[in-house]
Structure 1
Amino acid sequence: MEVFSFLCLLFSLLPSLFLYYHRSTSNRKTHGHHKDFKTYPLIGMLLEFLRNRNRFLDWTTQVLGDCPTNTSAFHRPGNIHGVITANPANVEHVLKSNFENYPKGEQFIVRLQDFLGKGIFNSDGELWKLQRKTASYEFNTKSLRIFIMENVRVELYTRLIPMLTEAVQSHRILDLQDILEQLSFDNICKLAFNFEPGCLGGTRKTGTEFMRAFENAATLNAGRFLYAVPFLWRVKKALNIGSGATLRKSISIVHEFADTIIRNRLESGADNNEDDLLSRFIGKDENSTEFLRDIVISFILTGRDSTSSALSWFFWLLCFNPEVEQNILKELKEIRSRNRKTIGDSYSMEELRDMNYLHAAIS
């Protein structure tokens, strides 16, 4: 009886195995060998995933770079499947031109809920639209642009430039990405919440502690998508062990910091001051303290990581393209001469608009 059952199972699988073999060989003929994520019957790409999970970005970048469209489907046990892409046209289609057709979905939202709550990066539909509309209005105001110019100028002259100058004089090596993260973090807190964390230069211990906790929380939370056993993160969370315990502690520090920002804004009379993003959300009576916390965390995430990552890669690329660096310096020199400025003077918004080559290089 057991042999008969086994034969029935084998024959029922044969059509699937044949189709899998046919598709695999046709893909290799079309795209060349190893031009896609390796998949196996029943387990999908699980073996390759386990082999490369500690170098996930390098692995996926390599695979997608070999794909003709820089896009590939993936399958894992537990009904986990999807498409991963590094094609700018696809990214634009998903995030811009057809955004409403691509909700984040329950699997995504549940995994990030502890950290991001109902913030803009972890919400769909009307909740997302509310945050997007409020934020876009704030970030397009003239007063905000003036505030950005002044705040960045103060940060540069009182913190960043003295730090770099001291490092040159003492021949000290600095981690540029770490410094740019601190600079971006201070800027987004001041810009969005009118709060000064003093992280750059370590002038405030609480700001530095928060940044470390924020980094840990973001990394561990994203790691929930990389578990070979999909529900394992739930077990660790429930038992408060391993990465589950570390994540809980980090999120607690992040929440405490965000609550401090909200408390300070409420005590300072946010309703009478609409110069920052948080005040616009506080002005809406239906928003709870917990929702305001989600907003704070989400905008710190977008303001810190996106800016610091872009600038880190920009300076890294400049090191390998000295002719681009010289062209940028030439453009700055021409603008200085035209406006009778000297090296070290700050630029106005109008002068920034004249930096076409610099804009192109950053883009």
Structure 2
Amino acid sequence: MFIRWKLRCDWKPLSSAGPASYPVIGCLVSFYKNRHRLLDWYTGMLSVSPTQTFVISRFGARRTIVTSNPRNVEYILKRNFSNYPKGKPFTETLEDFLGKGIFNVDGDLWYNQRKIVAHEFSAQSIRYYSENLLKEEVEKKLIPVLESAADNVDNMGVVDLQDLFRRLAFDLVCKVSLGFDPCCLDECSLEAPHPIMEAFDVASEVCAGRGAAPLSASWKVKRLFAIGSEKRLKEAMGRIHSFIADVIHDKKTKNSSGDDFLSKMVADGEEEGFMRDTIISFIMAGRDTTSAAMTWLFYLVSRHPDVEDRLVREVEFIKKDKELSKYETLKELKLLKACISESMRLFPPVAWDSKHAIADDLLPDGTQIRTGDRVTYFPYGMGRMASLWGEDRLDFKPERWISETEGGRVQALKNISPYIYPVFQAGPRACPGREMAFVQMKYVVASIVTRFRIRPTSMVPPVFVPLLTAHMAGGFNVFVCRRH
């Protein structure tokens, strides 16, 4: 009764830009009402905030500061990096999935893993990847699947492009990290997901649900009794751990000396749990991010045939006397890079990321930070701020990224601050695989657009789903038609 009386008599908003907040329960009511549209809800509040920042306080959860202010983002990710680690609340949410992998640790554990991982993204490694593994997977597996779809009169040339991209990415990341080919794009495998690929889907979905739960204690109760989604997570991780343990055992037994990431760690005598957690993080990042980005790119390009025509002309011009899979050739596809960057501005593979303050602080915009606060920067919302991208911010315009053209061809791109466009993070924790991701996306997209026209089967706008990494709800069913 006391609480009901307080709600009637003492309510007042804590911030004109933030959600309606009440005594005791904070903004729990607003959060629950908007739980299925958090991205747009947050974006709307940020767009009317004078500082592009707001505060959320709700019963059963930590105080959260959400910001799309580039000065704040730079401060959090770089200038005062040491005060904003992932933090225990974040790592606890993902520990059953990522363990002590690079995306779920801080301090020396993170630094040591980053040094090991960075070697896999040298220019030499990227060159070998594009000219061998990537080329083989695209030309021998992905393109034949699309050709078969285009020639299939009974099925009208329909495929789920998102599913194909996820299968492609899973095959590639398993080859790079494990030296193992799960053959997800083989004809006999297309009817059902690979069991380990499916287990990763379950783990990602459940852990994302943990982070979005209105009451943070709810998932811990389910885990304690191994019920509901937590039971699914436990079973999925059992399959993932068993699979990776078998691969590690096989490499140790055969004294494998391959070029894959795991073989190098085995040769260096790394501890088995460390190798397992590092590989899980490696697979999760490599599997989901590029497939999501390419899915949304093809959706946007299908709505802008003028951009598609320019892309085809660029690729055809570049490859007429050069090998497309060469690293140096892919660097010349500047319009394509602009299109990919613009697509990820609107639909970033990671919609938001949170840190946890270890000491009281003051953000550049004047926002007070308390010890233990969750501080979230918001790439999805930042891509939709008129103050950063103009009134046409919701339009797909690759021209935003272009600084110089000559003879109708893009010669140079703008250097946009990673604190305005933190799609690959920024500062010390900036994504080490950024260049390899661009190489993969450029080659795959260029290989497809010059051979096929891709058109959605439905005119209904797709739904962006922000799990640990984002995806398109229900897949992306498209018609595939040969271009020539």
Q: Would the TM-score normalized by the shorter structure come out above 0.5?
A: yes
Give, in angstroms, the shift of residue 151 of structure 1.
0.9
Give, in angstroms, the shift of residue 356 of structure 1.
1.8
Give, in angstroms, the shift of residue 211 of structure 1.
1.1
Matched, 1:155 2:140: no
How do 1:249-288 and structure 2 match up within 5 A? 249-270=235-256, 272-273=257-258, 275-285=259-269, 287-288=270-271
Give, in angstroms, the shift of residue 51 of structure 1.
1.8
1:348 to 312, 326, 340: 326
Matched, 1:303 2:289: no
- Relative to structure 1, the CA distance from residue 65 to residue 191 in structure 2 (aligned partners, 3 Å threshold; closer, same or farther) is farther
TM-score (norm 1): 0.82
1:195 to 162, 180, 188: 180
Give, in angstroms, the shift of residue 254 of structure 1.
1.6
Matched, 1:318 2:318: no
Give the letter for the 1:246 counterpart: R
Gaps of 5+ in 1: 1-5, 29-34
Structure-1 residue corresponding to 2:403: none
Question: What's the % identity of the aligned pairs?
Answer: 38
Matched, 1:222 2:208: yes
Which has the larger displacement, 113-122 or 249-258?
249-258
Give, in angstroms, the shift of residue 101 of structure 1.
2.7
The answer (yes or no) to whether the contact 2:91–2:105 under 8 Å persists in 1 is: yes
Give, in angstroms, the shift of residue 323 of structure 1.
2.1
d(CA) in 2 for partners of 1:111, 1:136: 26
1:269-328: CA deviation from partner (whole Å, max 9, x where unpaired): 24x44x22223332343x321221111110111101111111112112212222222221
Give, in angstroms, the shift of residue 109 of structure 1.
1.2
How do 1:21-60 and structure 2 match up within 5 A? 21=12, 24=14, 27-28=15-16, 35-60=17-42
How do 1:1-363 and structure 2 match up within 5 A? 21=12, 24=14, 27-28=15-16, 35-67=17-49, 69-86=51-68, 90-91=72-73, 93-96=75-78, 98-170=80-152, 171-201=156-186, 203=188, 208-270=194-256, 272-273=257-258, 275-285=259-269, 287-337=270-320, 339=321, 346-363=324-341
Give the letter for the 1:174 counterpart: V
Greater gyration radius: 1
d(CA) in 2 for partners of 1:69, 1:200: 47
TM-score (norm 2): 0.63
Aligned length: 334
d(CA) in 1 for partners of 2:263, 2:76: 31
Q: Secondary structure at the match of 1:76?
A: coil
Give, in angstroms, the shift of residue 65 of structure 1.
4.6
d(CA) in 2 for partners of 1:95, 1:148: 31
Looking at both structures, which has the greater relative contact order when contacts are Cα pairs under 8 Å and sequence separation is at least 6?
A: 2
Larger proportion of strand: 2
Give, in angstroms, the shift of residue 200 of structure 1.
2.1
1:103-142: CA deviation from partner (whole Å, max 9, x where unpaired): 1111111121111100011101000001111111221150
Larger proportion of helix: 1
The answer (yes or no) to whether the contact 2:130–2:325 under 8 Å persists in 1 is: no
d(CA) in 2 for partners of 1:53, 1:278: 39
